Structure 1
């Protein structure tokens, strides 16, 4: 479990393709107290540390993860946002983040907004229903607030501190980003679904509460 508050910006120090999957060496986050098998979020993707180096760690990336995130397009030198798993007793400064990427979105536009930068992104259509104005979303591992939503497109405002302490300052139109929607929205949809005895739009329409 993570919070989306980035602890360091590191880089892909080495990348070895191994018959369909990949072994990564990530630098930029010394882990003197690291434990083999611990979870570390790398640009929003929860990876398992299988070895440690002087300035980082090594992790294996499965074919499934390569296919469902931006990791499949990474090269040596890629800047990545890093966060260790949340420890009991720590402040939950962002929101609840699992490190399980739901899909890959795209930066559509970027413009200055006073000292901040406002980004417009496009989410996959299947994820759009989970994104709400003033709700939480995780982009490349960073906990952010959604400013506005229109269909599959949404806006986030990045303040100077976040631009300085994450990789988001490099975002430009066309950039692919890892998206994790709010976990509470996913569970709420499941609990409200008809198969769980809940309420959905089809049930409301059947009883005349909404027009379809």
Structure 2
């Protein structure tokens, strides 16, 4: 379980194919605190630490993960948003984030608002995915508030701190991002869909 509050950014140091899997080696400020078998969200995707060595650690993405996320587009040098799993006696500063990416979206617009940024994302039209104004969305692991909601697209307003201390500032129009929709919204959407089918 995560909160969507990014703890640090990491850098992809090495990428190694192993059958259909990919082993990613990263460095980050808290590598020496990591333990093998620990859950760590990478751009919102929960991956398990399988190896640590010095200031580097390794995680493995299987084909199922690669199919649903943008991890397959990572390159050596890519900057990744990181969050360790939440401590249950801590504050939930973001929202309930599972680290299970639902789908990817495409950045369609980035507008500089003289100090803040207004980012628009279009996403796939399949699945029980919805957004609502002032609802929650997780974009590359960042807990954000939906500023504007449309059919299969939404916009978020990014404060300067988030822009500076995550990988948001490195995104460009056309880039793919990982999306996790609000778990409560997904349950409601599925239930309403079932009721419509029954009727």
TM-score (norm 1): 0.88
Superposition RMSD on alpha carbons, in Å? 1.7
Unaligned runs of 5+ in 2: none
Offset of residue 180 of structure 1: 0.4
What TM-score results when the alignment is normalised by the length of structure 2?
Answer: 0.93
Task: State which drifts further: 26-35 or 38-47.
Answer: 26-35
User: Does the 8 Å CA contact 2:130/2:152 hold for their aligned counterparts?
Assistant: no
Runs of 4+ with >4 A deviation: none
User: Could you list the per-position Cα deviations for residues 91-119 of structure 1 after superposition, in whole angstroms to 9, with x for gaps in the alignment?
Assistant: 11100101100001000011111310101
**What SS does the corresponding residue of 1:154 show, helix, strand or coil?**
strand
Contact 2:137 2:144 (8 Å CA) reproduced: yes
Aligned to 1:112: 112
Q: Whole-Å Cα distance in 2 between the matches of residues 74 and 87 of structure 1?
A: 29
| Number of the residue aligned with 1:154 | 154
8 Å Cα contact 2:129/2:189 also seen in 1: no
Structure 2 residue aligned with 1:43 = 43
Structure 1: which 5+ residue stretches go unaligned? 195-199, 207-212
Highest Rg: 1 or 2? 1
Residue in structure 2 matched with residue 185 of structure 1 by the alignment: 185
Distance in 2 (CA, whole Å) between partners of 1:81 and 1:176 is 14
Paired residues of 2:128 and 2:186 also in contact (CA < 8 A) = no
Shift of 1:193: 5.2
Contact 1:30 1:56 (8 Å CA) reproduced: no
In 1: Cα distance, 2:190 partner to 2:127 partner: 14
Task: Name the SS for the 1:29 alignment partner.
Answer: coil
Instruction: Assess if the C-alpha contact under 8 Å between 1:128 and 1:152 holds in 2.
Output: no
- Displacement, 1:90? 1.2
Change (3 A) 1:128 1:150: farther
Cross-structure match for 2:57: 57
**Residue deviations 1:44-102, cap 9 Å, x none?**
11000011132242111101111111011111111000000001111111001011000
Q: Equivalents in 1 of 2:56, 2:186: separation in Å?
A: 33
Identify the residue that residue 90 of structure 1 maps to in structure 2.
Answer: 90
Distance 1:174 1:168, change over 3 A: same
Deviation of the 1:144 alpha carbon: 0.3
